[in-house]
Amino acid sequence: MSECDHNCESCNKECAAPRKEKTHALSDIKRVIAVMSGKGGVGKSAVTALLATELSKQGYHCGILDADITGASIPKMFGVGGGVSGDETGIFPAETPSGMKIISSNLLLENETDPVIWRGPIIAGMVKQFWTDVIWGDVDYLLIDCPPGTGDVPLTVFQSIKVDGIVIVASPQELVSMIVEKAVNMAGMMKVPMLGIVENMSYALCPHCGERINIFGSGKIEAVAQKFGLPILASIPIDGKIAEHADSGKIEKLEVDYLHAAADIIESGLPVKSC
């Protein structure tokens, strides 16, 4: 993929490199982080919610763009519902009890269980609108919860939005190490910096003695991280409290520090910008 050698804003040339979309005029987004996974079922959305919550607790204004259009779950985790509002200026995101801003396809449905049966181009178009038409206001970190895989939506995100870094979520099974490599390779092809890997469901703690139990084995994510020179941002255990708080819409009230170090690494590794 070649780079533009001219000012795309003042010409009609057909570029080999896709143009980045601008945010709404009333949005000032400093940093954009995409959270992705090579496959489903690894807890990517939960990690997105926990990471946004951790950054918020550290004093940053955060937002979540739920790009998983057909499998949206972010609003439920934060107990947000009732749709979104807008006017001739644009769309206003919903806000969580702590003031975090959220936009999601589930907030546009009459019932949250209604299926979104759309083809790829329409889904990709909605993701773009979440970026261009939503009035985000002042946001220090906008986290984009990408659907699993390396298909239409992640491609749209990386081509259309100036993403500052990618966090990959994986679980420790042997198969996942291969899937992680696919996601890492996609990031490399799209020339988006990799911030690191979060290993979810990394282990379990025995409720009786506290012994750490590696249910899916160990060392697989470490090998992938070493191969690509990436840090492991966090190893999150199988913790019933995460599911309990997410299911009840109280993920912001969960008191855990699994992603505290990850937030510090991200904060220190990303430059501040204005979109």
Torsion of CA 149, 152, 155, 159, to 10 degrees: -160
Say how many residues make up the chain. Answer: 275
Look at residue 7 in the predicted model and tell me its pLDDT. Answer: 44
Contacts of 243 (CB under 8 A, 6+ apart): none
CATH of the domain spanning 21-269 = 3.40.50.300
HEC profile for the chain?
Answer: CCCCCCCHHHCCCCCCCCCCCCCCCCCEEEEEEEEECCCCCCCHHHHHHHHHHHHHHCCCCEEEEECCHHHCCHHHHHCCCCCCEECCCCEECEECCCCCEEECHHHHCCCCCCCCCCCHHHHHHHHHHHHHCECCCEEEEEEEECCCCCCHHHHHHHHHCCCCEEEEEECCCHHHHHHHHHHHHHHHHCCCCEEEEEECCCCEECCCCCCEECCCCCCHHHHHHHHHCCCEEEECCCCHHHHHHHHCCCHHHCCCCCCHHHHHHHHHHCCCCCC
Look at residue 232 in the predicted model and tell me its pLDDT. Answer: 92
Per-residue pLDDT of the chain (275 residues; tens, 9 = 90+): 344 444 444 444 544 456 789 999 999 999 999 999 988 889 999 999 999 999 999 999 999 999 999 999 999 999 998 888 888 899 999 999 999 999 999 999 878 888 888 888 899 999 999 999 999 999 999 999 999 988 889 999 999 999 999 999 998 876 667 788 888 889 889 899 999 999 999 999 888 888 889 888 776 788 888 888 889 999 999 999 999 999 999 999 999 999 999 999 888 866 545 44
Say if pTM beats, i.e. exceeds, 0.85: yes
Write phi, then psi, for 102 (nearest 5 degrees): -140, 135
Look at residue 57 in the predicted model and tell me its pLDDT. Answer: 93
Look at residue 219 in the predicted model and tell me its pLDDT. Answer: 67
Six-digit token string for 69: 């259009």
Look at residue 267 in the predicted model and tell me its pLDDT. Answer: 84
